Structure 1
Amino acid sequence: MASKAARTRLTREYKSISANPPPYITAHPSESNILEWHYIITGPENTPYHGGQYWGTLMFPPNYPFAPPAIRMHTPSGRFQPSTRLCLSISDFHPRSFNPAWEVSTILIGLLSFMTSEEMTTGSVSATEAERKQYAVRSRWWNSTGGGSNMRANGPAQKGNIKAGDGGAKFKAEWPELDEENWKWMKENNIDLATGAKIGEPEPACGPQLGIAAGSGAQAHAVVDAVMQQRDAGRSWISRHKLLLAGAVLFFYVLIARLLGDDHSA
């Protein structure tokens, strides 16, 4: 339960961010819990995220603003692991570095800045520009369908269920106007609700792997082998076996030198 100070502060901040939202950012607290905030980041121009709709949450502690929130982004982006706590100087990973003067808008501006950089941290992933653009195109479909799980969703989202699998129910509950716009966009663009691809077009290739689970040693070796094969593809036999050839030349040089030495001594 929020302390009186946290409730007062977050109520004031909601009025402030509603009146003067930062560029590309909108946010509000959940009606049922003022400590649970939902945000939308719209991908800025001149970035791979342009046009994307990135939904996430800030979970504030009861003693905010004297401690930072947990930060998550639920929409797949190619930048962060979906629904994973992010380790940032403005998040709950670093409570001692948090400044009580920082507000919700400060936190979200910092998140957007980090998102458009290439710095890595706990919860971030690597992806190509093309893959991130693909995620951006599918972001509205993902938010409103729960990643296509609306085709098999059984009932409303459970408490705290904000990942794919809830059929988009949580997103709709928090962002009803955006959800309505997304469904209209999907209809106008003939989007397959199960895959997010345009009907009649081939489904895009799979996105980047977001990590290998612990204990998946065979998978890890398979990935390494595949990378090595790709690296070697197109390279000549000589360039791939430089060390072997160098060793052979050295061996024959030593052998010939010894034979010549034996001849002279004889």
Structure 2
Amino acid sequence: MASRAAQKRVRIRTPLIGLPGEHLANDCFRPSQLTREYKSISENPPPYITAHPSETNILEWHYIITGPENTPYHKGQYWGTLIFPPNYPFAPPAIRMHTPSGRFQPSTRLCLSISDFHPRSFNPAWEVSTILIGLLSFMTSEEMTTGSVSASQAERKFLAARSRWWNSTGGGSHLKAEKGAGKGNIKAGDGGAKFKSEWPEIDQENWKWMQENDIDTATGNKAAENGGPSCVPQLGIPASSGHQAHVVVDAVIQQRDAGRGWLFQNKLLLIGGAIFIRVGVTVRTRLRAPQDEWLYTAI
């Protein structure tokens, strides 16, 4: 759940309608609708959810879902966006979650009954809070859809523990900007710039948390204590390079595979050797059969 400082900041926001010089594509758009919803969700946020519109475009909303108890997402900080169409509430928003979760593909549009994949099934009575509650409910289920992924409980817990680091560093890309990266280009690794601009108080809390917990900002791993080895598995992520959103997921896969033994990793070689030996014995037996028959006849 967002801090009091973050909630206070949300209440004093004054969102503008559209970008500077931008004309709305649909005269049906009712800014008062999203303005009322913004006021409502700021004063009475649903459990585990906080959200606000961008200061420059009321159609672009940013949310944070805090992982609920008794789920593998517990204490995770999941940031995402809702991009509303000009004719909202008569059409649903595009829904994305940027933070790697082990549940959704980062920064990918999600196919849900409350998203822009299904405009005909969207109910105009649904509000921003309704949409985000529905997203949280789907997240904690195991149902699959376009944009979702499968992962183990351990993998999801691992990503939850790194979520605050990922949001504020862009997955470690703050150390070296990648080609094509920039504020808002989250997939390329913007160094956490977009998150910081939308959630400055929470970003400060994240950096303080990393410092207090001795988190390596390059990798998201807990640094070695007193010169000893780190208690967090090293996942082979170069400390000097920036990382895209999918790097964290790839690292989890490395961690999962690292525990598999030599027999598993070389099972194909062992199976092939067994087949070769079996074939060799069979051929040798058949080659000896005529000779044995000749010896029997001679005797």
If the length of structure 2 is used for normalisation, what is the TM-score? 0.68
Deviations 1:213-263 (A, max 9, x none): xxxxxxxxxx9xx9xx85997xxx9xx99xxxxxxxxxxxxxxxxxxxxxx
Task: Kindly provide the amino acid, as one letter, of the partner of residue 106 in structure 2.
Answer: P
Q: Per-residue deviation at 1:6?
A: 3.1
Match of 2:150 in 1: 126
Q: Per-residue deviation at 1:203?
A: 3.5
Whether 2:67 is the aligned partner of 1:43: answer: yes
Whether 2:183 is the aligned partner of 1:166: answer: no
Separation of aligned partners in 1, 2:76 and 2:160:
4
Conserved 8 A contact 2:172-2:217: yes
Match of 1:111 in 2: 135
Match of 1:217 in 2: none
Match of 1:80 in 2: 104
Q: Per-residue deviation at 1:160?
A: 3.8
Separation of aligned partners in 2, 1:155 and 1:19:
41
Whether 2:87 is the aligned partner of 1:63: answer: yes
Residue 172 of structure 1: SS of its match in structure 2?
Answer: helix
Whether 2:153 is the aligned partner of 1:153: answer: no
Conserved 8 A contact 2:61-2:82: yes
Conserved 8 A contact 2:181-2:188: no
Separation of aligned partners in 1, 2:88 and 2:182:
26
Change (3 A) 1:181 1:196: same
Kindly, what percent of the aligned residue pairs are identical? 75
Task: Kindly provide the amino acid, as one letter, of the partner of residue 91 in structure 1.
Answer: S
RMSD: 2.9
Task: Kindly provide the amino acid, as one letter, of the partner of residue 25 in structure 1.
Answer: I
Equivalent positions of 1:1-16 (< 5 A) are 1-2=23-24, 3=27, 5-16=29-40
Change (3 A) 1:121 1:156: closer
Regions of 4+ moved over 4 Å: 1-4, 154-157, 204-210, 229-233
Q: Per-residue deviation at 1:165?
A: 1.1
Conserved 8 A contact 1:162-1:171: no
Residue 27 of structure 1: SS of its match in structure 2?
Answer: strand
- Which structure 1 segments of 5+ residues have no match? 211-222, 242-266
Task: Kindly provide the amino acid, as one letter, of the partner of residue 80 in structure 1.
Answer: F
Residue 33 of structure 1: SS of its match in structure 2?
Answer: coil
Give aligned pairs, total: 221
Match of 1:247 in 2: none
Change (3 A) 1:92 1:132: same
Change (3 A) 1:230 1:100: farther
Task: Kindly provide the amino acid, as one letter, of the partner of residue 106 in structure 1.
Answer: T
Change (3 A) 1:173 1:112: same
- Which structure 2 segments of 5+ residues have no match? 1-22, 225-229, 237-247, 252-256, 276-299
Change (3 A) 1:209 1:182: closer
If the length of structure 1 is used for normalisation, what is the TM-score? 0.76
Q: Per-residue deviation at 1:60?
A: 0.2
Separation of aligned partners in 1, 2:209 and 2:93:
33
Residue 40 of structure 1: SS of its match in structure 2?
Answer: strand
Residue 26 of structure 1: SS of its match in structure 2?
Answer: strand
Whether 2:194 is the aligned partner of 1:175: answer: no
Match of 2:279 in 1: none
Counterpart among 189, 194, 200 of residue 213 in structure 2: 189
